[in-house]
Amino acid sequence: MEPSAPALPGPYLIFLGDTTEPGFAKTAFGLRDWARERCVGEYALAEATVTAGLPLLTPREAVGKGARALVIGVANPGGFIPDAWVPPLIEAMAAGLDLIGGMHSRLTDMPPIREAARRHGRELFDIRTPPPDIPVATGRKRTGRRLLTVGTDCALGKKYTALSIARGLAARGLDATFRASGQTGILIAGEGIAIDSVVSDFASGAAELLSPNAAPEHIDVIEGQGSLFHPSYASVSLALLHGSQPDLFVVCHKPGRERILGHPGYTLPSIEDVIDLSIRNGRLTNPAIRCAGVSLATNELAEAEAARLIAETEERLSLPVADPIRGGPAFERLLDACTS
């Protein structure tokens, strides 16, 4: 079974709803950064304070510029579609746009949305719908090599790191594939499985499907989800770790973040704690699992401060440390570790 997504109509108008927390707009940011050619503009409610920096367009204006679908660019806690979003989503369909949703709340399950789609002759795409007949995980060793990104929290670069590593390895002439495990990654890659939408008994099996047997030299770079230390999403992270059976993992962290996003009562774990727990849990299905290095999201730091922090972290951990988006020699060293 090959994990895939239906062919989606593009280009897109990105909907930001009434979002005020940048960490919840990662779908919008991901499409802007990795599929910019498919993004016509953005559309938001008056209450929104987050922007992806795309042209501000109404649905009708977006259609005039070639947009074919509105993509919900928000991944809020619980993945629900608030009542306040329904009128603008219907407005988008009336203007001539199909709707693409990656929320747990499915567009096709909402009567007002479904009826409006019928009335305006529009299509609804729920990409967070897992494929049918996912098997229970076997735990059997698969051929090929696998690298998984893990994190100290949500929304701090696991997808960007996986995409950057896959692209960097491919640029070196290696056979590497990015494997999407979330809605934004699926929109970027055109295929994948939204692991957090799979019934828990089958989540590790879905991760096995995501990175099947491959040639010995092939490297699957698997997008991580959540955090083993997250009070809400640790189960998703663990299922992905067990099913992926990674030979290597890269820890992703955002310097300066001290509390779990959306859970201020929980402090972030240290990078060392994430390495230790990932190895102890990962050994269940791959006794040889090890940490290849660390990815730091330094986008809010000046270049000199970022370089200092990367160097200090590398010295402390005795592992390659880089910001993949900044690139440079530090990232090349991390890529070296991902092939060793």
Fold of the domain built from segment(s) 12-126:
Rossmann fold (3.40.50)
Give the pLDDT confidence score for residue 242 in this predicted structure. 98
Please name the helix (run of DSSP H) or strand (run of DSSP E) that holds residue 209, with its range, or none: helix 200-210
- DSSP letter at 139 equals -
**206-236 pLDDT, tens digit each:** 999 999 999 999 999 999 999 999 999 999 9
Q: Is it the case that residue 182 has pLDDT exceeding 70?
A: yes
Span 121-125, average pLDDT:
97
- DSSP 8-state secondary structure symbol assigned to residue 69: E
How far is 110 from 150, CA to CA, in rounded Å?
34
Task: For residue 166, count other CB atoms closer than 10 A to its CB.
Answer: 23
pLDDT for residue 2 is more than 60? no
Q: Distances from the Cα of 160 to the Cαs of 24, 198, 306, 308, in angstroms? A: 15, 23, 17, 22
Handedness of CA 100, 325, 173, 282 (dihedral sign): negative
* Mean of pLDDT over the chain: 95
C-alpha to C-alpha distances, 245 to 116, 135, 161, nearest whole angstrom:
44, 16, 18
d(CA 252, CA 244): 17
pLDDT in tens, 45-99: 999 999 999 999 999 999 999 999 999 999 887 788 999 999 999 999 999 999 9
Count CB neighbours of 213 within 10 A: 11
Contact indicator for 192, 3 with CB cutoff of 8 Å: yes
Specify the pLDDT at position 340: 86
> With contact defined as beta carbons under 8 Å apart, do 186 and 192 qualify?
yes
Task: Classify 283 as helix, strand or coil.
Answer: coil
What is the distance between the alpha carbons of residues 181 and 196, in angstroms, rounded to a whole number?
8
- Which CATH entry fits the domain spanning 145-338: 3.40.50.620, 3.40.50.300, 1.10.8.190, 3.40.190.10? 3.40.50.300
Write the pLDDT tens digit of every residue in 265-287: 999 999 999 999 999 999 999 99
- Percent of the chain at pLDDT exceeding 70: 98
Instruction: Specify the pLDDT at position 5.
Output: 54
Summarised one tens digit per residue, pLDDT across range 19-44 is: 998 888 989 999 999 999 999 999 99
Closest CA to 108 of 14, 98, 2, 185: 98
Task: Say which residues have a Cβ less than 8 Å from residue 71's Cβ, sequence separation at least 6.
Answer: 12, 13, 14, 15, 27, 31, 100, 101, 102, 187
Per-residue pLDDT band for 262 (boundaries 50, 70, 90) equals: confident
Cβ pair 62, 40 in contact under 8 A:
yes
Provide the pLDDT for residue 239: 98
Out of 67-81, 88-102, 130-144, 306-320, pick the least confident: 67-81
pLDDT at residue 155, rounded to an integer: 87
Mean local confidence (pLDDT), 186-204: 93
Specify the range with the lowest mean pLDDT, choosing from 11-25, 284-298, 322-336: 11-25
Model pTM? 0.90
Cα gap 266→81, rounded to integer Å: 26
Domain layout of the chain by residue ranges: 12-126, 145-338
Based on the number of CB atoms within 10 Å of its own CB, is 14 exposed (0-12), middle (13-18) or buried (19 or more)? buried
Say if 12-126 and 145-338 have the same CATH topology: yes
Distance of CA 1 to the CA centre of its chain: 22
